[in-house]
Structure 1
Amino acid sequence: MLLAFCFSVLCRLYWVFWASEFAQFFFNEQLMIVSNDGYAFAEGARDMIAGFHQENDLSYYGSSLSALTYYLYKFTPFSFESIILYMSTFFSSLIVVPLILISREYKCVLMGFIAALLASIANSYYNRTMSGYYDTDMLTITLPMFILFFMVRLLEKKDFFSLIALPFFIGIYLWWYPSSYTLNVSLIGFFFIYILVFYRQEKIFYIAVILSLLTLSNIAWFYQSAMIVLLFALFAFKERYFKFSLIAFLIFATLIFLTFSGGIDPILYQLRFYIFRSDESANLTQTFAYFNVSKTIQETENISLDIFMQRISASVAVFLCSLWGFFWFLKEHKSMILSLPMLFLGFLALKSGLRFTIYAVPIMALGFGFLSIQCLNRIERLKYTPNLNKIKYSCWILLLCFFLFALINFLWLLWKNDFVLDKVSYFRIFVDLYFENSFLFLLLLFAIFTPFIINLLYKKRVRQVQIVSVMGILIFALFFALKHIYEYKIATVFNHNEATLLDDFKNKISREDYIVAWWDYGYPIRYYSDVKTLVDGGKHLGKDNFFPSFVLSKEQRAAANMARLSVEYTEKSFKTPYDDLLQEMMKDYGYNNVDLFLASLEKDDFELKTPKTRDIYLYFPARMASIFSTVASFSYVNLETGEFENNFTFSPASYQGEKDGLIYLSNNILLSNDFRSFMFNDKIYTLNSLIELNSVRQKDYKIIPIDENAIFYLFYIKDTNIPFQFILMDKAMFNSAFVQMFFLSNYDENLFELVVNSNEAKIFKLKI
């Protein structure tokens, strides 16, 4: 366990080693975190340390991760920034513990050790638990694996410790990650079905089901704990009174209690959002058809089969071996049926997005570990084979054939490309081929290791055979995972300048003020500026995102009016809950048609009747240029039909090359080298204007008119702070508040005041 744990920690420290070379990743003399949602928990922990937070500020005050962070800060000597940076490094590495404990129950610790090494750094698990990934994922997989362990241990030993530990860990898991309700129900359900089939006469298992179900009840934890401890004590000391009729009654009564306490509501919500892709906002109101937010979240998008397998087991070959091993494991040990809910949830990624692959990682790793042990056992049996000498020579011939095959492959590569490149380049291509394809890599390892293993068997060096075989298995299992760690060099959520900008800004505003920004930046803004936001990573349904989208992507007058209305009505909704804010606005302003209401916001004579209660600021970061098309989508949808009727264009691109008088851009657009027109899908379009942008901060740009009747504008960006060289947009996007106010510093001084002007972001104060 200690060896596997240290291996996991060291692998996660590689990102810290790499990121430490970049000063822009530091804030308060420590590396910043890499997860947007992490700032929500950081804000909650910060408020817990302060001892208070503002009413209706959406702080995660008292949440599980915030509370754990708070206690670590109180009782350890480490800084707050260091705690949130390294928590995932150490806590996520605890996954090795239940894996090795489970393997010990099956009397095969080496299986668990191999599984622990693979699971701890498999692609999807590493991505969501690496250093700096401050989120609940650090224990979201470890805790259900402990639940699985105590189920297996209870079946094997029928001990009272497992009986009380099982509901305890279910309770901890629910506290840590409330969305685990569905998985917990599935695990308990499979356990109940399993005992009905194989252990229907064992009372202790039925009591385990009852105690576990009580943990799911929607009552205060101390009442819940009292009920569980009381029932456990009665069964432990008065087991003879627990007849099967009484047990059946207790199970039935517990199920009825769970149903009436809303026990199935979390399951229905998860099915609606991730399986049927319905937006919860559509269920809250029948008035408007908002854009479905689940369509814009990468983690909920369908993924290819190759990516699916790589995220679970780091490579396709390892995944297939793991799947084979899991079914073999299932055949030898029927109790592994209990792991199927986690495996099914992981495989749900093929339908509902890559975020679910993480659940299949430890189960598939156990399958690989089991297959590895079976292979080791069969290798050792070869020492009793009388024809071992012939096998040895056959293996050396196999190795020779492999290198002959590799040489032919290399020569074919040269001939195919007509010897255009130098031999060094071809050698690199050849090497990359064998270190990118997991099946060729497996073939390479097989050709190298097999002759040595057979030779050691021939010399009866059994111990060396075991060591070499395990080395080969671990290289095959871990190579692509380690390669992924080396290549997965992601940046922090914000850079130093952005964090400093917002941290300084909190001294100029009130905690009751609002910053209107896109939901991606909601949590970090609240953490650094200690201010309220309209949307964030947890509040971003279609009906929520409509308002910041409208503010950012419409003309300035409409943006200003909507910013004031959305903030004031949001505050009012805390006291008088509304199903739909837009509907309430229309009702108060006397409109029945939503299009007419939204159009009225653009007019100079629109009168704001809503009293001003606080200041509002608009946050325009440079990084938003890369996602602005998605941002605008939420307010360009027809609210009556949910369809896009007024299409728009905002397409960032980088330079790819030039040929025959055409400039090739990364968005598949061919731009004429005189910057007057462009080609897309074999059609030629004239540009209205070319905007040469030298500096966003200094308002250094030049507009070159081309065709006043054309609808497309092209930004040629020379400012190195913008991650694109070109942005093609239509007239609607050109006139949007984001483009005019951020890129061109062209704003209505009667509506806005520029209060922060930097290369990374601009912040405007709303005057109305």
Structure 2
Amino acid sequence: MKKSNTIYFLFIFFLTYSLGVVLRLWELPLWNAPHLHVSGEPIMATHDAYAWLAGAIGTGNHYNAPMSTILSLLHNITGINVATINFWLPVIVAPLVCLPIIFICQLFGIIEASLVAGTIASLGTGYFLRTRMGYGDTDILTIFLPLAYCAGLIYWLKPFINNWRRKDYEFTLILKQHLLKGSIFTGFILLFYNWFYPNAYPIVMYTYIFTIFLSFLLTPKKIFINLLPGFIIILIIGFGELIGLLLASIFVYLTYTETNNNKKTLFNLVFLSCALGLLFYHKHWGAILSLIDPILNYAKIFPFLEVKKYSIKLPQVLASIREAQNVSLTMLIQRVGQNPYIFFPGLIGFVLACTRFPLLLIFLPQLGLSILSFKLGNRFTMYGPPIIGLGLSLGLTFILEKIKIKPLILYLLLTCFVIYPTINLVKILKPTPVLPQVYAKSFLEIDKIANPKAQLWQWWDYGYAAQYYAKRKSFGDGGRHNGPYLYPLALAHTTSSPLQAAQIIKFTAQDQQEQITEMQQNGTNPSNPGAKILYWPIDPVRKLNLMGATKAQTFIDSLKEKTLNFSANIPEQYFVLSWENLNLSYWISYFGNWNLITGQGVHGGFKRLKGKIDLNLSKGLVSFSGKTLPMIKLLIIKKDGTSIEKSWLHSKGLYIIYNEYLPQVIAMDKTIYNSMMVQMLLNNPNKFKPHFTLVLDKFPWVRVYKVN
């Protein structure tokens, strides 16, 4: 790269990167509020951020995970606590997404276009909202890495695919060196991508397979045959780790020093077999199923292929997770393209740009993933902005050919236009800590109360935070929230019987302990070897599953009345109730009222009342939104830390909680009001003896009980 080109590259990078940083810093003054910090550390803005924090200090299930390793390394280098590092990491790292975009635009000879494309990639709503301050999750690199991977593929293939016309080449020494250098470069990008974010395997392979097809379509047979060793090198390095690097070295030497075509073909077959073998070694049958399952699930083809692991029917958590929920067309346009004036021109521009730069089609799997977010879920919208940005900016080349305005000026003006929606967005954004300060402090106090081997039963959303602050094992977290964990956890929260709540916790904990003992004896490794707190691959509902659905449901129902005897070797179990759970009670009650035979749950009724609200205590009526309804019970939580409960003899009506602290009025039905998540949090703690003992009371926000 010439010196002038380098300066140009750095100028554009500085501008686009700075825009990404500055707009992410916009809400910094709001984060200075004392209630957004605990023990000198900022509270994270996403639950998963605590997974890596707990992993970094060795108390979570994600010990030695890439993100945890990076945080631990940065802490050791800088001495800054991991929470502060993870709070700032999105601001520093996420805007780097512009770098591969600039590189791609430079490869196509239109580096000025990266001003717009890089800015949209960094500030696209779907990506920006997931990489703000405090959002220290893998998202900070999960767009950069696929873009870098595609940039590597484009860099490698561009000398051979310039347009839609097949063009033969004489393989000069320079082209042979590029074939080797480009594939190795791309292989190392893929190696890091697979290490950092292995869940991206499907999109990695769809892109890889589609690129092979594109190369076959757009290159003469002779060229395509010479590209095949490069594809093998990418696969070997990308999935082979240390063994792959050794095999790739041997393969490079044999392939590029051998002149006999028959031997080259043999080497290709042998090392392709090695590459596929390494792929299956790391992924097992997931190497194939991970590519097929998404298609079958989306198309709902062959439902009978689903293997039922359990005799009991367990709930699925996916419907309750916000980021997995479907998005509307309006939201899709906003998240992917900021507004219709960017989204639709970006799509049209992408089509036009592909007519001139066919290698842009490599991005089709990512574009498809973002467009299908209306079905796949909100989080996938973040894959779209870079492609819309490339389409909008590179598509402008057709306009630039017709007018005489200087490209840089035009792209600068367009950059001002595309950052306008983000500026409007950041003006209304506020810090969004995932748990209140009092909840975080409660976990810190549990660290002083609980036995080091204790287990916490808080709702799974806060499992990672519990692992970080309390430094204790948690039952359920963001990675262990499927049916086997979800059902017993929700049941303990939803039941109106303290006995049943205590017994399902102890029953599950005893089964856990028995499985752990068995694993220790048969040599099974924990999920996080080397951590301070070990997690084992247990099945929380193993005993229920062995009973069969009918007997299991009968057994669960019997826990309300029949007292069981449990082993004295069960570690301490703590039940953590919080005000935050009430906002989730619609789903918690659904999972907790689950029938193991029919596979169906029943939602409890819950609503936060807004606007003008009138409570008529003499008649037991509540008026809101132009209607008046009877109350059965009213619980008033007063600012002095006391509470008052009133009842009326209505045959039907609402259960109302009025919290003077907030102030807030919430309405619910009998199921939720009588549940343990409400009663143990807000009622007299002595009512739950002898099954539970209150050990920490921060009424009305948090209460922690030890299971007796």
TM-score over 0.5 for the alignment? yes
Partner of 2:273: 253
Question: Take 2:451 and 2:517, find their aligned partners in 1: how far apart are those partners?
Answer: 21
1:593 corresponds, among 533, 551, 561, to 551
Q: Which of 716, 720, 734 is residue 673 of structure 2 equivalent to? A: 734
Work out whether residues 300 and 354 of structure 1, in 8 Å CA contact, stay in contact via their aligned partners in 2: yes
* Matches for 1:268-307 after TM superposition, within 5 Å: 268=292, 283=307, 285-307=309-331
Distance apart, 1:575 and its partner CA: 4.5
Q: What displacement does 1:673 show?
A: 8.4
1:317 aligns with 2:338: no
- 2:145–2:189: 8 Å Cα contact kept in structure 1? yes
Does 2:614 match 1:655? Answer: no
Q: Does 1:31 align with 2:48?
A: no
Offset from partner CA, 1:58-80 (integer Å, 9 cap, x none): 52111111111121122235343
Displacement of 1:249: 2.4
Hey, what does 2:634 align to over in structure 1? 690
CA shift at 1:34, angstroms?
0.8
Aligned to 1:512: 453
Q: CA deviation at 1:156?
A: 2.0
Counterpart in the other structure of 2:165: none
CA contact (8 A) 2:101 2:114 kept: yes
Q: CA RMSD in A?
A: 3.1
* Corresponding position of 2:114: 112
1:661-691 Cα shifts (integer Å, max 9, x gaps):
xx5xxxxxxx878663469999986432233
After TM superposition, give the deviation of residue 291 of structure 1 in Å: 1.8
Residues 515 and 617 of structure 1 are in contact (CA less than 8 Å); yes or no, is this contact kept in structure 2? yes
3-state DSSP of counterpart to 2:515? helix
Partners of 1:122 and 1:277 in 2: how far apart? 34
Map of 1:357-396 to 2, 5 A cutoff? 357-380=381-404
Counterpart for residue 416 of structure 2: 475
For residues 190-224 of structure 1, give each alpha carbon's deviation from its aligned partner in whole angstroms, at most 9, with x where no partner exists: 1111121122322442112112232465x6x2112
Structure label with greater radius of gyration: 1
Tell me the distance in 1 between the aligned counterparts of 2:76 and 2:456: 31
Equivalent position of 1:676 in the other structure: 620
Superposed, 1:462-541 pairs within 5 Å as 467=409, 469-541=410-482
Distance 2:610 2:65 in 1: 46
Other structure's SS at 2:448 match = coil
2:16 aligned with 1:4: yes
Distance 1:244-1:482 versus aligned 2 partners, 3 A rule: farther
Q: What is the CA–CA distance in structure 1 between the aligned matches of 2:622 and 2:419, rounded to whole Å? A: 48
| Counterparts of 2:626 and 2:441, CA distance in 1 | 47
Change (3 A) 1:716 1:508: closer
| 1:628 aligns to 2:572 (yes or no) | no
Counterpart secondary structure, 2:449: coil
Partner of 2:503: 561
Whether the 8 Å contact between 1:152 and 1:335 is mirrored in structure 2 is yes
Letter in 2 for 1:653: R
- What is the match of residue 705 of structure 1? 647
- How far does the alpha carbon of each residue in 1:336-384 deviate from its partner, in whole angstroms, 9 at most, with x for none? 111111111122202111111111221111001113444344332xxxx
In structure 2, give the amino acid aligned to 1:693.
I
Distance change in 2, residues 1:11/1:379 (3 Å): same
Equivalent residue for 1:170, pick from 190, 206, 212: 190
In the TM superposition, what are the counterparts of 1:117-266 in structure 2 within 5 Å?
A: 117-157=119-159, 158=175, 159=178, 160-199=180-219, 200-202=221-223, 203-215=225-237, 217=239, 221-238=241-258, 245-246=265-266, 249-250=269-270, 253-254=273-274, 257=277, 258=279, 261-262=284-285, 263-266=287-290
Compute the displacement of 1:269 (Å): 5.6
Residue 639 of structure 1 aligns to which amino acid in structure 2? L
TM-score by structure 2 length? Answer: 0.85
Question: More deviation in 337-346 or 533-542?
Answer: 337-346
Give the C-alpha shift of residue 642 in structure 1.
1.7
Residue in structure 2 matched with residue 639 of structure 1 by the alignment: 596
Q: Any idea what SS the aligned residue of 1:264 has?
A: helix
Residue 571 (structure 1) aligned with residue 525 (structure 2):
no
Contact map agreement 1:273 1:294 (CA 8 A) in 2: no
**C-alpha displacement of 1:230:** 2.1
Match of 1:619 in 2: 576
Q: Which moved more, 1:257-266 or 1:472-481?
A: 257-266
Q: Is the 8 A contact 1:551 1:737 kept in 2?
A: yes
Instruction: Return the alpha-carbon distance in structure 1 between the equivalents of residues 371 and 549 of structure 2.
Output: 48
Q: Which runs of 5+ in 1 are unaligned?
A: 48-52, 381-461, 664-670
The Cα shift of 1:762 comes to 2.8
Quick one: which of 721, 724, 728 aligns to 2:664? 724
Of 78, 91, 99, the residue aligned with 2:93 is 91
Q: Could you say which residue in structure 1 is the equivalent of 2:565?
A: 608
Counterpart selection for 1:349 from 373, 376, 383: 373
What is the match of residue 331 of structure 1?
Answer: 355
Change (3 A) 1:567 1:148: same
| Alpha-carbon distance change, 273 to 512 in structure 1, aligned in 2, over 3 angstroms | farther
Gaps of 5+ in 2: 1-12, 160-174, 520-536
Query: Per-residue deviation at 1:486?
Result: 2.5
Aligned to 2:657: 715
2:498–2:676 contact (8 Å) kept in structure 1 = yes
Any conservation in 1 of the 2:575–2:704 contact (CA below 8 Å)?
Answer: yes
CA distance in 2, matches of 1:501, 1:689: 29
Measured after TM superposition, the shift of residue 101 of structure 1 is 0.3
Cα 1:2–1:290 shift into 2, 3 Å: same
- Aligned pair in 2 of structure 1 residues 216, 108: CA closer, same or farther (>3 Å)? closer
* Structure 1 match to 2:6: none
SS at the partner of 1:140? coil
The verdict on how the C-alpha distance between 1:657 and 1:621 changes in structure 2, with shifts beyond 3 A counting, is: same
Taking the aligned partners of 1:744 and 1:118, their CA distance within structure 2 comes to 51
Identity, in percent, stands at 19
User: What is the match of residue 65 of structure 1?
Assistant: 67
**Aligned residue pairs, count:** 652
Contact preservation (8 Å) 1:565, 1:585:
no
Q: CA deviation at 1:704?
A: 2.1
The letter of the residue matching 2:194 is L
| Alpha-carbon distance between aligned partners in 1 of 2:83 and 2:540, rounded to the nearest angstrom | 37
Question: Against the structure 1 CA distance between its residues 633 and 272, is the aligned structure 2 distance closer, same or farther, given a 3 Å change threshold?
Answer: farther
- Residue 473 of structure 1 aligns with an amino acid whose one-letter code is L
Q: Is the 8 A contact 2:43 2:134 kept in 1?
A: yes
Structure 2 SS opposite 1:147: helix
Distance 1:32 1:689, change over 3 A: closer
Contact 2:586–2:604 (CA under 8 A) maintained in structure 1: yes
1:703 counterpart SS class: strand
Q: Give the direction of change, closer, same or farther, for the CA distance of 1:512–1:241 in structure 2 (3 Å limit).
A: farther
Give the whole-Å Cα distance in 2 for the aligned partners of 1:639 and 1:567.
20
Shift of residue 503, structure 1, vs aligned partner: 1.6
Deviation at 1:16, TM superposition (A): 2.2
